[in-house]
Structure 1
Amino acid sequence: MKKPFLLFLLLALAMSLCAQVEVWEQKLKDMPRDTQRVNLLNRLARLHYNTAPERTRYYAERALKLADSLHYTRGLAEAYKNQSLLFRLKGENTRELETLLHALQLFQSLNDSLSIAQTYTDMGAAHHQEGDFKAARDQYMKALDMQRAFRNTEGIALTLRKIGVLETDMKNYAQGLEAFELALKLEREGHNAEGIANLLNNIGVVYYEMGEYGKALQHYESSLALFRETNNLNRLPAAYHNQARVYLAQGNVARALQLASLGLPIAEQTDNRMALLESYQLHTDIYSARHDYEKAFDYLQRSEILKDSLAGARSHIRYAQLKALIETERKEQEIDFLKQERAWTLFRQKIAYAGLALALFIGGIIIYYQRNTIRTKKELLKKNDQVHAARQALLTLELENKKLQEGQLQRDLEFRHKELLTYTLNLVQKNTIMENLREGIHELLSTSDKNSKAKISKLIKVIDYSLETEKDWDEFKMYFEKVHSSFFERLKQQYPDLSQSDLKLCSLISLNLSMKEMAELMGISPESVKMARHRLRKKLNIPTEENLADFVASFKSS
């Protein structure tokens, strides 16, 4: 019950589609040369592919030319895809791939992921036809991943069918059947008659390859019925030939010849060279089985000639068909030319006046914009000069301010350095005077009476306290750190065992004072200073050849 209903539904759909095609072709005559016309041309090219491939070429070429003149990217991409169908039909795989690559690049520029996925599927089929199974699988898997991401049921089913054909050709029959069954389920859910027919035919091929001729014939017959209902002339020859192969394998040569004879004229009519090659090879096998070697040899020669033609001259179509198509196009162009000629005379009269008016108008616009551009440029240059001058003045002011700041910092540093030197020299001078005073008082002590000696001894203690007081050291340290900040902190951080006396000695060494000056400041003898320097060198672990003053000076702040 379901099968007659499905056939009736397909017949109604086919009749409706034919009527729709007639409406669209009539509508095309009155449409302007815009993007909508390109879309309709591409749609008609696809619809005629299965029933009238020569019309597909006619519409695809016009869509390509118009889309290119309009710079209509999507229309151009679709036209390239339609052209690739014709190259596939003629077995020109190289040109098919080139055309599909053009379409792919255009779809990628539009970020049209769905169309990109469909193009990957078509490219996979072209690689498959050339025998490059690895490249075909890679393209199919790219397409399948994208189709699944977009949940495009129709695209998933088509790609699965292509994968199934590939697995079958690679003798992976279980994987091929699995892919076909998944695709068939999706096509039946979508009521896609063409997809169902193709998949039934594909499943029949798998069973034929596996030697299960009953199942193969069952699927072939169902496929053939659907191809007849949809009038799919491109697929009908393969459907007849596949059934013929089954009957030939079963020994029913007469039935095989009958079916092969039905497929051959359709392949010739549509210039389906791949189907034609299969038909010649099938007839060769059939006549060989009938021991009619003369006819078998005749079809073998035809198949070899066609095979050579496909391998060596895929860029050419058959001369007779090309001549017919060119003649048809020439007549159509003559008709178009006559139609245009009637309007061209009036147009030429108007174009002169319109051209003159347009030239004057464009000239006025150019002059206006040139003047406006010159005025704008002058204003812009003036503003740029003002901005540049302001920036230069600001930069000069910043540089002067920086120089003033640097000068002030340098003067402050010089002042502090002088202050440190002055204080140090004063301290040395004071200590020298106090030392001399103490020596003079010691001389008086030996000649003085008892009462005077007590007072003089007290005075000597005061002088000794003055020489040994920490107040002078604290003040010296304050002045020193104003000039060389963090000097003591760095020394202590690197050499934590240094005493206050060591630190004091380091600071005096860094000022390049003499032994005597250092002795006066520290209240010890020059010999003691020398011994202190020796101990300091050991604490600092300085090699003998390295200068102590240079090493200590390296801890001054920069």
Structure 2
Amino acid sequence: MNVFKSLVVVLLILTLNGVSAQSSDNKLIQKGWSELIKDNENAAFKYFWEANEIAKKQNNTKDKAESYLYLGICSFGSSLEKGLQFATKSLNEYHTLEKTDKEKATIGRYKCLQLISTIYSRQKKYDDALRLSKEVIAELENKNDTSGTLGLAYNSVGGIYELKNQDDEAQKYYRLALIEFEKAKNVAYLPTSYCKIGELFKKKKQKEISLTYFKKALALAEKTENRQGQIIALIALGKWYLDFDRNFSVAEHYCNNARIIAIGLSDKLFEIKSIEMLIDIKKSQSNFKEVSQLQSEIITLKDSFYSAEKQQIEKSLEVQFEVSEKNRKLKLISAEKEVTKLTNYLLVSVLGILIVVFSFLYYFLKRINKRDKQLLTAKEELVQLMEEQKMLKEQQFQNDLEHKESQLSAITIQMLEKNELLDEIKTILNKKEPNAENELKKLVSKYTIQDNNWKDFDNYFESVNKNFYTRLKQKYPDISTNDLKICALIKLNLSIKEMASILNISPDSVKTARHRLRKKLQLNTEENLTDFILSV
């Protein structure tokens, strides 16, 4: 019975390994699981721990929950307490995941509950384990579960009922598990289910049916290279031949094969169970010497098993430390890369800004230079136009001046000619009738003293000699109108005779007028009147 109960416990452990029936999409977890099914716990733990560290860094709730779950699966064999801690952490993360992905969170939650149920079974807390597995069943049995969790829960409940010797209930749940596994074609768990069904039929003394299930389990386990399944099936077959046929050689053959396979596993529990089965066989043969040797081997194995558990815990801590150190170094490298990246970004940004600034300055200076050239060209054109305009004005002024001078000259000549004509008339009249002399003289005098000619003269003279009269009057207020006429004629550089003719007076009178003018102008005897007038 002890061997039977031990087989049930081992079957429960196999049930736990099925928690990961549905593969993860995380590459590190996939690698870890590949190592775990090969019984390479250290390598598996390292991958799961690295996946967890990355998930925490990226704040990826799904990967955190999943990595904690697999860390629990990987750890509980060496430390039930550690496995339970990881399972609880995973459960909390799946609770957080419900806000964003309820379906995955639900599946993950029940995987965690099933893991905790299996750990409770190892701790012999069967009632708690049963409660958790039934909770999983109640939630998943009416849903299309593709993760395999429902079948595992059935198996777990069946195993607990079997330990409690409630065979009918155990058979019921084992059959339900078998239906789930066959429906999903889950070959990883079918050998375990076949063995459990076979054990129930064996207890009912249904020899052939139980043997058929054991052989079916072995064939499937060998086909799928499931070493743990092979060991369970071989031990079950050895016990069957021992109990029903008392065929010691066949029973020992199966148990030795199981022991050979178990030696290659890191979990020494399987080798211990195979040796315990051999001890039962040797006891049945009353071969107590070999029984004693085998019991010594079990003691050594158990010592190494518990030592291995301790080493496994230490190794797990070492792996955690190594992964943490690796992550610390990666963080430092990442920080250095970030600094380098930031520096390069700043350099590129500064270079870009400088290029933009220099491009803008070049464009701005080029535009200013172009504008300056255009402005210079416009100024040159303006200066040229102003020069041309100035030349035109000067030309116009010169033309006007020449015209006025010609007009002035014409008036002066006209006045001279008129007065000369009048002088000749006077002369002729002086030779004829004396009676008409006075009338003619009056007539001639009348036409001689006309202001119109002087007005025209003054207008043209002022247009040629701007403000000439004004300047003289301002400087010499006592100067008279006749004095101004003398000054104007002197300005025209006329002779005394010409001035006498224009003024219709004698040359001596002109000389007298010039003499009075000198006094009014306050000129010294050595100063030339003509030069003075020309300089005004």
Aligned equivalents of 2:313, 2:300: Cα separation in 1: 12
TM-fit CA distance, 1:350: 9.0
Aligned equivalents of 2:161, 2:278: Cα separation in 1: 27
Query: Structure 1 residues 298 and 65, CA, compared in 2 at 3 Å: closer, same or farther?
Result: farther
1:86-485 to structure 2, matched below 5 A, reads 86-90=74-78, 92-111=79-98, 112-148=105-141, 150-152=143-145, 154-249=148-243, 250-307=245-302, 314-317=309-312, 351-352=339-340, 354-355=342-343
The residue type equivalent to 1:106 in the other structure is: E
2:60 aligns with 72
Q: Deviations over 1:492-521 (max 9, x none)?
A: xxxxxxxxxxxxxxxxxxxxxxxxxxxxxx
SS for the counterpart of 2:188 is: helix
Aligned equivalents of 1:81, 1:173: Cα separation in 2: 32
User: Would you say the 8 A contact 1:114–1:146 is kept in 2?
Assistant: no
SS for the counterpart of 1:239 is: helix
* Aligned length in residues: 315
Aligned equivalents of 1:106, 1:186: Cα separation in 2: 28
Aligned equivalents of 1:272, 1:73: Cα separation in 2: 32
The residue type equivalent to 2:227 in the other structure is: L
Aligned alpha-carbon RMSD (Å)? 4.0
Aligned equivalents of 1:352, 1:183: Cα separation in 2: 57
Aligned equivalents of 1:289, 1:133: Cα separation in 2: 32
Query: Structure 1 residues 69 and 233, CA, compared in 2 at 3 Å: closer, same or farther?
Result: farther
Aligned equivalents of 2:169, 2:194: Cα separation in 1: 16
Aligned equivalents of 1:326, 1:218: Cα separation in 2: 46
TM-fit CA distance, 1:121: 1.4
Query: Structure 1 residues 101 and 318, CA, compared in 2 at 3 Å: closer, same or farther?
Result: closer
Q: Deviations over 1:175-215 (max 9, x none)?
A: 11111112222222222222322211111222334444433
Aligned equivalents of 1:175, 1:350: Cα separation in 2: 62
TM-fit CA distance, 1:318: 9.4
- Return the TM-score normalized by structure 2: 0.51
TM-fit CA distance, 1:104: 1.2
TM-fit CA distance, 1:305: 4.6
User: Would you say the 8 A contact 2:191–2:233 is kept in 1?
Assistant: no
User: Would you say the 8 A contact 1:113–1:146 is kept in 2?
Assistant: no
Gaps of at least 5 residues in structure 1 are 1-23, 25-35, 362-558
Aligned equivalents of 1:215, 1:156: Cα separation in 2: 26
The residue type equivalent to 2:152 in the other structure is: L
Query: Structure 1 residues 70 and 267, CA, compared in 2 at 3 Å: closer, same or farther?
Result: farther
User: Would you say the 8 A contact 2:62–2:93 is kept in 1?
Assistant: yes
User: Would you say the 8 A contact 1:51–1:234 is kept in 2?
Assistant: no
The residue type equivalent to 2:108 in the other structure is: S
User: Would you say the 8 A contact 1:89–1:274 is kept in 2?
Assistant: no
Query: Structure 1 residues 156 and 273, CA, compared in 2 at 3 Å: closer, same or farther?
Result: same
Aligned equivalents of 1:40, 1:305: Cα separation in 2: 39
Query: Structure 1 residues 296 and 158, CA, compared in 2 at 3 Å: closer, same or farther?
Result: same
Larger radius of gyration, structure 1 or 2?
A: 2
- Return the TM-score normalized by structure 1: 0.49
TM-fit CA distance, 1:109: 1.6
The residue type equivalent to 2:29 in the other structure is: N
1:40-79 to structure 2, matched below 5 A, reads 40-54=27-41, 55-79=43-67
Aligned equivalents of 1:143, 1:168: Cα separation in 2: 19
TM-fit CA distance, 1:287: 2.6
Q: Deviations over 1:248-268 (max 9, x none)?
A: 223111111111111123222
The residue type equivalent to 1:99 in the other structure is: F
Q: Deviations over 1:35-86 (max 9, x none)?
A: x9x8111123234433343443342232223223323222122122222223
The residue type equivalent to 1:98 in the other structure is: Q
Aligned equivalents of 2:304, 2:269: Cα separation in 1: 11
User: Would you say the 8 A contact 2:191–2:229 is kept in 1?
Assistant: no
User: Would you say the 8 A contact 2:152–2:177 is kept in 1?
Assistant: yes
Overall identity of the aligned pairs, in % = 15
TM-fit CA distance, 1:108: 1.4
TM-fit CA distance, 1:244: 1.2
SS for the counterpart of 2:49 is: helix
Aligned equivalents of 1:94, 1:310: Cα separation in 2: 17
Query: Structure 1 residues 230 and 166, CA, compared in 2 at 3 Å: closer, same or farther?
Result: same
Relative contact order, CA 8 A, sep 6+: which one is greater?
2
Aligned equivalents of 2:39, 2:307: Cα separation in 1: 26
